[in-house]
Every structure is written in structure tokens, then in C-alpha cells.
Chain A
């Protein structure tokens, strides 16, 4: 079964040698080939968050006509452990056309017997939709202070980009109110030596940006 004897062996050896040379070149060609693939198929532009938000952030984005398609936006509210606030959305979900700005409100109530300061952190799920979701006006942009027993309505105005990928038909905007430790003048703060470890409470008070 010596296919072609000496000649056959030489042919097989040569063919394999060519494969080796090609694979060596492939190592160097892999990056340009990937760029080419991305350009042709548009994989990277659709998949990389960094590539997308420019469209959303553009000032003219809101002015562009809404797309004729409905996206469900759900609202989720949380408070961190130990924060005596009641926090709930006034509407659980809305249907919105991408490109159309909308305003929704939340109700927040302080259950404690003292003034409490807290700040909300927003989060969009699924994360792939994050670059296509922008808030033009939001209570989460600054700290909120509520007097004992006070109830307040807080609003957010948001916009889902027209460029929201086809696959995403529903997204959730989740807010979490984070505690701000009540400001009390930290004892001995001014006299603290360099390198001395601040107490945890004092540390968070210093870290929190006083407004």
C-alpha cells in the first residue's frame, strides 16, 4: 500500500510542509482577519458596548423620530439593609416606543423618626441594553433627604434609543437606595494624624460627597 512509493511520500511531505507554512502565516494574519470579519459582518459593532453609546449620547438623539415598535420597561425598587425607607414605583411597567422620552414617578417614604439622607443607584437589565438607555432627568442624580415621616414623589425622565437591538424587547430599570450615614461631626477628625485609620462611620461620612 505504498501509494506511489518514493514519489507519493515526497508529495505527502511537501503538502504537509505547505500546511505548516500556512499555519505559521495564519498566526500573523489572525488579527487583520478578525478586523476584516468584523467589518464584513458587523459582529463587533453590535456586540461591544463601547461602540454604541455615542448614538445615545448625541444631543440630537431625542429629536429623532421614534421607531414604530414597542418595548416594555419594568421598574424595580430596593433599599439597602438598615435604611428605613419605603420605596415603590407608581407604575410597575410601561410600554414605550424607542426614541420617545417618557416620565415616570416613584413614591418614597421615610419611616424613621429622624431625617435620613440616601442616594439611589440605577441599573439596567439586561446589561446589553445599558448603552441604549439614557436618563435625562433623575432623582438618582443627587442625594435625597427626607424629614421624619415625609413622603415624596420622585421622577425620572428616560429615553430608550432607537438603535436598541432587535432581540431586546423588554428591559428592567432597577433602583437601589443606599444609606447615607447621618451626618454628625466625627469626633477628633480635625486632630487626626496622617496615616491614622479613620473609624468606619467617619470614613463613609468623609467619602460621601456632601451636597
Chain B
């Protein structure tokens, strides 16, 4: 430790605070600046992916084809998913990890600051490639857009034009970015904790990220391998997925979902960690069952690695295989249920107040549980074969991922924004945002359960006239949900620019090292490690 402390003292002796101009950002090795850049990048991508969702819902407002070519519609569906998953949710969670983890565990910075810079700029490069993959089909000779859905299943993905090559390269870049970020987070948590902070004394957010980072380094390389095989099949005459050459397209599905299912927990766990920080703060009670919450997160991650093929019940696996995947999947509801019960028990007889972060946390418990319930329905084989590729699935994963991941990030944003900026956000606008999200989100996705059960397939530009009313309702809800984000943008900008000064502790019930620092925290914090008892 002593060596790093002196290095840091040496560096800051040269700089006297943050460097000025563009160099501060481009060459940054400061966890707070990199965290900010991650969060800004995520916000931009969120608005871009959200705009795509608005186009999708506008097209689906009425049956028939009004606004766009079917191929472009499918491209929107594909890139909406990829942008939201890789561009918005993962970077936002990584940004919060960058900002908060060193302060929470009493470290001066991330363990590998230069690698931290590299992983962020790889992410930006990946984001640019992702947007380019949408643009090339409009250029002469650009070929067809990526119309496969985010799962990129061959044989279609082998036939798509060069936009698919851009997308494959995107996945490589994003994969490298998140692997580097994950290694950094694990090393920080394992090696840079303040003296006296044992693993079981860490804030629960750090635990959630430790599990997430381990998942990421296990799954991202597998996805990188899968898209590399795809690239080879497309251009170098191999037949990994080509049945005519002795390959098997189902192999890609296995590789993709070996990544894709744990990815759900990558998106979910950091937000659950945030909720587990927020609820004790606003219930003014310590988290109920810290040990079991940690255990539940580790268990979710472990079982989550082993149940991927429940996304592929219809490919003709043996009865033994599908039974295994069904039972494994249903088992996950036990640790997830434990998390939910721990949150509820924390609130039990707490002195609760309902500021915006707490409103989000309570809504997450309710809505995520509902998404989990439809998840258990989908895990059951005969049910799944009925719901497969219908809007029921769309409704399910939006109910799982919007409350489970996105709303958790909103909660974290409102919870930590005063700490980051030194200003309180506008509580009234925060609550307005919350209620617009609640009404808009439920109105958008609840009717989609009924649409799916009635047989409306997903990823298709047009639909049967009998589905019109629910689709109109869903679209109106989506526009409200989209409009809410203009409020979010305004609240954030307003808070960054000024507002009532935030105290060090910000929230009355807040506990932890990060709240002992001033708001906003100094450029270099904890250069001398704090002592934790």
C-alpha cells in the first residue's frame, strides 16, 4: 500500500488537482472522471436506444406497415436490444462501480487506472461501431441491415450484409472493454480494501459487482469465441454453423445463451446491489440478512451459469436435457426470492421515508417480482413451447430488465447524484419522473402479456387486426415512458449545474465510507487508507 500512496502523492504533487481541458478526459486515470464518462456515455446510449423503441412502438401503433421497411424494423429491434444492453445498462452500472467502489471500500482509486482508461475508450469505439452497423446499409453497396434480433442466430446472420461484420467487431470491442473493466473491479475489491474491511464487511454493492465481474470474465470470452466463429463462417470458408459443411447452427445458440443467460444476471445484480444500499438508508435500519444476501447473489450467479438452454426448449433437446434445464431455472427463483424477502424484512418496522431513490427501490421489489413470476412460467417446458417467440416473452423480459436493471440504475442515480455533484436534485421533478415511469412502463408492457398469450409473434413489423387495441395502448404508454426521460435529462442537467448544497452524508440514514467524504468528493480520495473496525 505504502508504495501506491507515495506514487499518488507524487503525481498529485505535479498536478495540483485535475488536469485541465480535453486531456483530463481522454487521458484520465481517475476513477471519478472515468465513472462520469461511463455515465454520460450510458445516458447518450439510453436516449438513442429509447428513440429506437419509440420508432418501434410508432410502427406498431396500427396494423399494417406505415413508417418503415420490414428489414429496417428488424434492424431497429436488434440494435435497440444491443444498445440498451451493451450501451446503456452495462456502462451505467460500470460507471457507478467506478465512482463508488473505491470510495466504498476506502481505496485511493481503481487498482489498474490505465486499464480503466483503456476499457472506457474501447467501449466508446464499440459504441461507434455499433452505430456504424446501422448506417452502412444506407450507403451504396452496404448490403442488408442486421435483421436477426440481438441473438444473431445463423444461418440468417451468415447471410446478412457487411453490417454484420461491423456488429461482430462491435461485440469484440465491447467484450474486451467489459473483460478489462471486470478484471479491474475484481482486483480492486480483492486487493485494495481499506485495512480492517474484510470481504464480509464490504458494502453489498461491492459484493454484487464482485459476482457480476466474475460472471463477465466467464461469459464474455465465450461470446467473443462465438462471433469469431461466425466471422470465420462468413468469410473464411469454415463451417462451424453450416450444416452443409458438417457444422450445426444450434452450436451458436448454445454459445450465445451460455453468454446470454448469465448476462441477465450481469444486468440485474449491480442494480440489486444498489437497491440493497438504498433500502437500509431510507428504512433507517441495517440490511436484514447481510450474509444470506451475499449468499443469494453468489448462488444466483452460479446457478445462472448452468441453465442457459431454457432459451432453446424448441430445438429438440432430449427429455433429460430439457428437464435438467427446467429444474435448474426454477431453482433460481429461490435465491432471488431470498433477496426480495431480505429487502422486505429490512423495511419491516423501519422509519421509512420515500424520497425518489426509495420510491424506485420499492417499485423494483414489486415489479421485478412480477417479472420473475412470468420467468417461472416461461421456465416450464410445455408452457414455454406455447409462449416461445411471442409478445409474452417480450413482456416478461422487459418486466425483468427494466425494474431489475434500469430502474435500479435510476435509483442509484438519484441516490448518488448529490454525492457526485455536491447539489441536491429537484425532489419534485424526481418524483414526477418516477410516476411517469411507473404509469408509462406498466401501460407499455402489461398489455403485451395478453398480446403474447393471444398469439402475437415478436420481431414482426405487422400484426393481425385483432391485436390493435392492446398495441395502441402499449404505444401510448411507450410514448409516456419515453417522454419521462426528457424529465430525467432535465433533472440531471439541473442538478449538475447547481442546486441546494448537499451535506457530506446527504441522506439521514446513509452508512458507509463514501458518506464520510465531502460532496462532491475531492479529486483524489482516501490517499491515506481509512481504518475500518
Contact = CB atoms under 8 A, between A and B. Distances in A.
A24 B221 contact: yes
B314 to A, nearest CB: 15
A166 interface: no
B255 interface: yes
Contact of A23 (B191, B221, B229, B320): B221
Contacts of B320: 43, 47
A48 B318 contact: yes
Contacts of B190: 3, 8, 12
Nearest to B219: A23
B226 interface: yes
Interface in A17-56: 17, 19-28, 30-31, 43-44, 47-48
A4 B222 contact: no
A23 B214 CA distance: 12
A157 interface: no
A23 B192 contact: no
B186 A16 contact: yes
B303 interface: no
B251 interface: yes
B507 to A, nearest CB: 27
Interface centre among B111, B183, B191, B222 (most CB of A within 10 A): B191
B324 to A, nearest CB: 11
A6 interface: yes
A30 to B, nearest CB: 7
A5 B1 contact: yes
Contacts of A43: 318, 320
B343 to A, nearest CB: 29
A107 interface: no
B434 to A, nearest CB: 38
B321 interface: yes
Contact of B194 (A1, A4, A30, A47): A1
Contacts of A13: 111-112, 183, 187
A1 B196 CA distance: 7
A76 to B, nearest CB: 21
Contacts of A20: 179, 183, 217, 220-221
Contact of A6 (B3, B196, B221, B223): B3
B528 interface: no
A128 interface: yes
A17 B258 CA distance: 20
A9 interface: yes
B224 interface: yes
Interface in A82-102: none
Interface centre among A3, A8, A20 (most CB of B within 10 A): A20
11 contacts: A1-B193, A1-B196, A2-B192, A5-B2, A8-B190, A12-B187, A16-B186, A20-B217, A24-B225, A26-B222, A47-B319
